Chains A and B, each alone.
Chain A
Amino acid sequence: MQTNDLYRRLFRAALLIRLVEERIIELYPSDRIQSPVHLSIGQEAVAVGVCDALASDDLVFATYRSHGFYIGRGGPLDSMFAELFGRLGGISKGKAGSMHLSAPKVGLMGSSAIVASTIPHAVGAALSFKRAGSSRVAVAVFGDGATEEGVYHESLNFAALMKVPVLFVCEDNGLAVHSFRHVRQAYRLPEHAATFGIESRRIEEGWDMLAVRQATLDALAVVRTGKPFVLEIVTGRYKEHVGVGDDFHFGYRSAEEINAWKSRDPLILDRKLVEELTPQIQREIAAAIEFAERSPAPGRAELLTDVI
């Protein structure tokens, strides 16, 4: 295993995501989190590799499965747990919850539970960056299912026409809830992108944080010249679509495919580094949960604030 500083940094961020989500799994039966959660376990390397490649003032627009990107961008843990718990100390005072995580101070804009709906937001931010003559880029993060929505097509076309600095990152876990890609897609993403003259790259090694990071850096080099880019990263969703359980017993998919992912998963393989980093991370998580539990629930005064 590699032990250089870069690898340790990425590994630590990925481990933080996994341990946070494993803590969420433990907490979930207690009903402290009274809202749907969509876990990124298995997909951490995508969030970590992409986020590490970005400049601090670049913006990410993501989805309802965004715990990974929130942490990857450096979002504070205390206000994350408070948000999940529906408390006033949450990043959005508890009004957002897991599905609408954001951390604009560290460049994660509002996440949406409507599939594909934040893709054009990234294009719009990129348009503004271009208008301002800025070197910033915007990143749209979405699942493979989102590419079936019309607005994905609209967004690529507009981004290509306007030559805006946007990176489209597809987290390809092959599943839309319980539906496999072969029943959903009559196209291949790189060829679709090429139709618009948009360069793309497919990364099969979605467990490899360094590979994802390098691919993102390479893509960003293109994007910062004012060209959109599609980065398709193959990954594996270990848990059920929504909720904290496994879903292999339902029989719609086999554990074998995910076991193949697990057999390459550095967060499983690198036991030594896991053991070394876990205690400190667990202390951070415990402190964040303590903060969240101390934070009051929003009262009636919050019900009608910030509507307009």
Chain B
Amino acid sequence: MSATAKKHQPAQSRILSYAGALLEAMDGALAAHPNTFIMGQGVDDFKGIFGSTAGLAGKYGARRVFDVPLMEEGMTGVAIGASLVGDYPITTHIRADFAFLAMNQIINLASKYRYMFGGIMSCPMLIRVIVGRSWGQGAQHSQSPQATFAHYPGLTVVMPSTSQAIVDMYPQIINRHPGPVVSIEHRLLYNLDFSVSASATPIPLTSYVAREGRDVTVVATSVMVLEAMRAAQYVAERVGIEVEVIDLNSVSHPDWDLVAGSVRKTGKLVIADTSWLEYGVAAEVCRQLMLRDPTVLRQTPAMLGMAAAPCPTAKSLEDIYYPSQHETVDAILTQVRGSGHGIELPVERSMTEGYKRFKGPF
């Protein structure tokens, strides 16, 4: 899936895994900003948050990178207090689901601190949460809470879909962004290699065009951006359909004009999100288009997300719980050619099978 991206990269690019990009971003932040520290369960252990903090405790010491008790709410409150006096905390949750234990501090305190006190105090910090998917993660290790977080004013919510997004965005966030940021990372991406380049125009803390096209717009988040890129490559090679893929990237602060402009051009839309569709990203994309110009859509858009149930553990159910590559391609073809498009779909049905390097368990 990185082949498409690589093709469009300039020659001076390098190969960097998602976990490697995270490690680079964490290392870079600790080196550049003495007030930065990382705390979370297992950040200093031999696995180092799937490699993203590996070795940093040894390099920077236990005062900069340290393990904490199982205390999600307390840890987040500690981060707020440290931030208020000038430190920059980075906290980690190896599953986004665990961040629900910290919701009181994230929602009731961090998101409101600047506004509620009239702008005289703020608590900038980075909260890293990781979405699990596949290999039987089940109902409580698989949730993708972007709609939940983005619902609350005061939080900035990003979903990096590539190593480039991490390399570009994290330095804009850490010690620079004025408020708390929730970064929703995806476990399936961690072991994937991406092409990364030093760009004059880094990926911003908002949406961007990941692939240009004229026939249909796909607005996607996180790992669904890769799914959209794979599908775009398939339909381009197979039938010459050119898909425009927009990585929504910042769920809290998308570039809606960019999205509306693309849909105005193509008239056709597929929304591919990593979570449930109900009251989620898909609903918000539609709301924003309705507000701007309902006529940009020439037909009913297609929406891909998790089935409206908690995530089942059984592989047979899990495989049909998430939108497959097959369904993504079908949605694109149906938008462009109609439901009787008659074009052969990719045989692969399970997205996990496309991620050959991933063998589990997490």
Contact = CB atoms under 8 A, between A and B. Distances in A.
Interface string A121-165: 111111111010000001000000000001100110110010000
Interface string B62-105: 01000011010111111111111111010000000000000011
Nearest to B78: A124
Nearest to A308: B179
B120 A104 contact: yes
Contact of B121 (A109, A150, A161): A109
Contacts of B81: 61, 120-128, 138
A307 to B, nearest CB: 5
B342 to A, nearest CB: 49
Interface in A150-184: 150-151, 154-155, 157-158, 161
A157 B71 CA distance: 9
Contacts of B194: none
A102 B120 contact: yes
Contacts of A61: 81
Contacts of A94: 118
B87 A117 contact: no
Contacts of A157: 69, 71, 74
B77 to A, nearest CB: 3
A43 interface: no
B82 A128 contact: yes
Contacts of A305: 119
Contact of B82 (A95, A114, A127): A127
A131 B115 contact: no
B77 A151 contact: yes
A267 B320 CA distance: 71
A158 B114 contact: no
A95 to B, nearest CB: 5
Contacts of B37: 131
A92 B120 contact: yes
Contacts of B71: 151, 154, 157-158
A74 interface: no
A128 B86 contact: yes
A158 B178 contact: no
A124 B77 contact: yes
Contact of A104 (B121, B154, B156, B177): B121
Interface in A257-308: 305-308
B109 A114 contact: yes
Interface in A187-243: none
Interface of A: 59, 61, 90-96, 100, 102, 104, 109-110, 112, 114, 117-129, 131, 138, 150-151, 154-155, 157-158, 161, 305-308
Interface of B: 37, 63, 68-69, 71, 73-87, 89, 104-105, 108-109, 113-121, 153-154, 156, 177-179
14 contacts: A93-B119, A96-B116, A96-B118, A100-B117, A112-B108, A117-B109, A120-B80, A122-B81, A127-B82, A131-B63, A138-B81, A158-B68, A158-B74, A308-B179
